Amino acid sequence: MTRRIVALLAGAMLAGGTRVQAQDAGATARDQARDTSVPVTTSATRTPLAPGRVRDVAAPAVVAPPPVRFGIDSLRPSPAALRTIALDERMRRDLGVDVGDTVRVSATPGDAAGERVVVSALLARRADPSEIARAEYRARLHLDQLQRLVGYGDRVDRIAVEAGTGDARERVLRAVNDVAFGFRAHRSEEIAVRTGATFQVVNRFHRAIGGITIVASAIFLLCILLLKVDERRRDVAALRLMGVSRRTIVRSVVLEAAMVALVGSLAGVAFGWVVAQLVNWHFRGVHRTPLAFAIVTPTTATFACLLSIVLGIGAGWLAARRLVGRPPLTLLGR
């Protein structure tokens, strides 16, 4: 059935009269295909299709089948006749499985009908937030092999299609959907948006938390700068008694507050960078992923510095106005 659908897709593309080029059907499918450095996911369905017009119709396919079991059959090199499998690199550390080993895969534990396969590659974990919450090992098998193993029949969950860009892609999309029955073609971006909904929510949550911490740190900063300026009341009184104008005093206090805020925020950026490295080091170790959990970007650093300076100037101005509004002798405590 899979082959029939693939042929149907190919026919639809040809009917669309376009040169079909690299364009896949979704982020997940694309990443799976890219991950597979061995001929695991694409070999089953690519060859019979109109050469020259359809360059590649990949079927990374069975995405959520019943779980497949692994048993370490032997650690000796295996006969070349055995088929290959790509396993999660964490299995090397956790289970001692390595490239060249023979493992037994089956749909149920202890299934004697399981198939012996050779580990031909190890899959590195991607910097993918969706993998953080899931501790399962990942594996890549040949499509037909997995279909047979889990009794999935000639079925796939999705088919990635290389198509052109712009109008050509839209024509392909329409042509496929015109002939589709029981399936539907989507643009990569649509699928990416749909699958990215979780991260959009997490992003909004992060922003909200960020907003609260900004309020807290702004109050903290205001407090500190008010105190800092307030400490200068005797100096201000002396300057006023010497005849220095209120305006000059306000400007100098504001300038000082801005400088303190700038230096403080630069130190904060450096501290934040160090903390980010520590956070990344810790969580990368915990989740065994290359994902960066905390990043200090130029935008973040600039925003922090600007906010700090604005707050510093505001606090300095407020405190300075209060100081110069009081008689110098009162400021001296007399």
Partner 1 sequence: MPVRLALLALLRHPARTLLAILGVAVSAALLLDMVMLATGMRENFRDFLLLRGYQLRVAPRGTLPFDSEATLDSARALVRTVRAVPGVRAVSPVLGAQSQALMGGDSVVTGFVLGLEPDVQGDYELVRGADLVVPDAAAIANTDAVGTLVANAAWLARTRRAPGDTVRLAVGYDPQLRTVLGERRFVVAGEARFHYVATAQPALALPLAVLQAMGGAERRDRVSLLMVKAADGADADAIVQAIQRAAPRTSAISLAGATAQVEQRLAYFKQLALVLGSISLAVGVLLVTTLVTISVNERQGEIAVLRAIGIARASVVMQVFLEGLAIAAVGSLLGLGLGLVTGEWLEGILRDFPGMPPTFRFFVFQPRDAGFSLVLLTLAGVVSGLFPAFRAASLPIATTLRREAVA
Instruction: Output the smallest distance, CB 207 to partner 1, in A.
Output: 9
Of these, 17, 48, 66, 290, which contacts partner 1 (CB under 8 A)? 66
Per residue, the 3-state secondary structure of 26-72, as one string, reads CHHHHHHHHHCCCCCCCCCCCCCCCCCCECCEECCCCCCCCCCEEEE
- Cβ atoms 146, 68 nearer than 8 A: yes
Task: Examine residue 76 and tell whether it contacts partner 1 (CB under 8 A).
Answer: no
Only one of the segments 222-230, 243-251, 261-269, 303-311 lies at the binding site for partner 1 (rule: CB under 8 A); that segment is 222-230
Tell me the site size for partner 1, rule CB under 8 A.
42
How many angstroms separate the CA atoms of 185 and 207, rounded?
34
**Do β-strands 83-88 and 115-123 pair in parallel, antiparallel, or remain unpaired?**
parallel
Of these, 94, 189, 190, 231, which contacts partner 1 (CB under 8 A)? 231
Instruction: Output the smallest distance, CB 21 to partner 1, in A.
Output: 25
Task: Examine residue 292 and tell whether it contacts partner 1 (CB under 8 A).
Answer: no
How many angstroms separate the CA atoms of 19 and 164, rounded?
6
Of these, 52, 182, 243, 285, which contacts partner 1 (CB under 8 A)? 182
Task: Examine residue 334 and tell whether it contacts partner 1 (CB under 8 A).
Answer: no
Task: Examine residue 295 and tell whether it contacts partner 1 (CB under 8 A).
Answer: no
- Of 56 and 111, CB closest to partner 1: 111
Of these, 189, 230, 238, 271, which contacts partner 1 (CB under 8 A)? 230
Task: Examine residue 72 and tell whether it contacts partner 1 (CB under 8 A).
Answer: no
How many angstroms separate the CA atoms of 244 and 319, rounded?
17
How many angstroms separate the CA atoms of 36 and 85, rounded?
10
Bridge-partner residues for 139, per DSSP?
87
Q: Residues 187-216 vs partner 1: string with x where CB under 8 A?
A: ----------xx--x--xx--xx--xx-xx
Q: Which long-range contacts (CB under 8 A, 24 or more apart) does 5-9 make?
A: 5/156, 5/159, 5/183, 6/45, 6/48, 6/49, 6/57, 6/59, 6/159, 7/48, 7/49, 8/179, 8/180, 9/57, 9/159, 9/161, 9/176, 9/185
Task: Examine residue 4 and tell whether it contacts partner 1 (CB under 8 A).
Answer: yes
Footprint on this chain of partner 1 (rule: CB under 8 A):
1, 4-5, 8, 64-67, 69, 108-109, 132-135, 181-183, 197-198, 201, 204-205, 208-209, 212-213, 215-217, 219-220, 222-224, 226-227, 230-231, 234, 279, 283
